[in-house]
Amino acid sequence: MSNVHVSTHPLVRHKVCLLRNVETEPRTFRELIREIAMLLAYEATADLKTRPTPVQTPLAGAEGESLEEIIGLVPVLRAGLGMVEGIWEMMPSAEVWHIGLFRDERTLKPVEYYNKLPVGPTVHVCLILDPMLATGGSAIATVDVLKRWGAQRIKFVGIIASPEGVKALTEAHPDIDLHVATIDSHLNEQGYIVPGLGDAGDRQFGTG
Ligand code: PRP
Ligand code: URA
């Protein structure tokens, strides 16, 4: 699957190990989500277009480059929120568009509750931010929303994925890139990723 990228970066693997640990407190958990998100976004944005930009240094003129594309960060509430801030610091001109979805605990289907996208897309590249890709329902629904909006290039940036979620998302939307830190073993009967890290929203916000 050429559009599925699993990070092999040692820092990412180290931090994911800490993130999984049941003993990790919400404060550290949030820091790790933020740091891993930055590292994954660094990898996910490696193909952004730049334009030549001449620049004057104190010594001479130089050929520089500037980002040409407008980036939209699309965190999926709630758990995606913790992935925004660090990435935004690296690309402060990015727009942030929140999408509110939760999984119905019984059906495991996504329920949309927040979307304030304006008429017509305002960005060139969307990075969907959600730490967990479980059944894939929430990610598929988010891509559906962004495509209806008119988004042309969409990338999913997640931390832990299940094989089932990767399959569902790539089959529903073969044109999008996936960047994740790891693809775990499987989903359990409750739709949780195993071994995973538990509930990413609850662990960030201390609501578990
Ligand atoms: C989690 C997670 C994803 C979704 C993944 O959110 O952050 O959005 O589940 O599951 P899926 O791939 O099976 O759709 P949750 O519904 O728990 O909401 P929360 O972030 O508000 O806790
Ligand atoms: N959402 C989570 O937060 N964790 C899972 O394992 C699956 C969905």
**Average pLDDT value for the chain:** 97
CA of 200 to the centre of ligand 2 (A): 6
The total number of residues shown for the chain amounts to: 208
CA of 201 to the centre of ligand 1 (A): 8
Q: Is the pLDDT of residue 2 over 90?
A: no
Read off the pLDDT of each residue in 152-179 and give the average, rounded to a whole number.
Answer: 98
Kindly indicate the confidence band of residue 174, based on its pLDDT and cuts at 50, 70 and 90: very high
How many Å apart are CA 80 and CA 200, to the nearest integer? 9
Ligand 1 shell residues, CB under 6 Å: 76-79, 101-103, 108, 110, 130-139, 165, 191, 200-201
Q: Is the pLDDT of residue 190 over 90?
A: yes
Written as one letter, the residue type at 73 is: L
Enter the pTM of the model: 0.97
The fraction of the chain above a pLDDT of 90, given in percent, is 98
Kindly indicate the confidence band of residue 208, based on its pLDDT and cuts at 50, 70 and 90: confident
pLDDT tens per residue across span 105-155: 899 999 999 999 999 999 999 999 999 999 999 999 999 999 999 999 999
How many Å apart are CA 147 and CA 145, to the nearest integer? 6
pLDDT tens per residue across span 34-54: 999 999 999 999 999 999 999
Nearest atom in ligand 1 to the alpha carbon of residue 162 is 12
Nearest atom in ligand 2 to the alpha carbon of residue 196 is 6
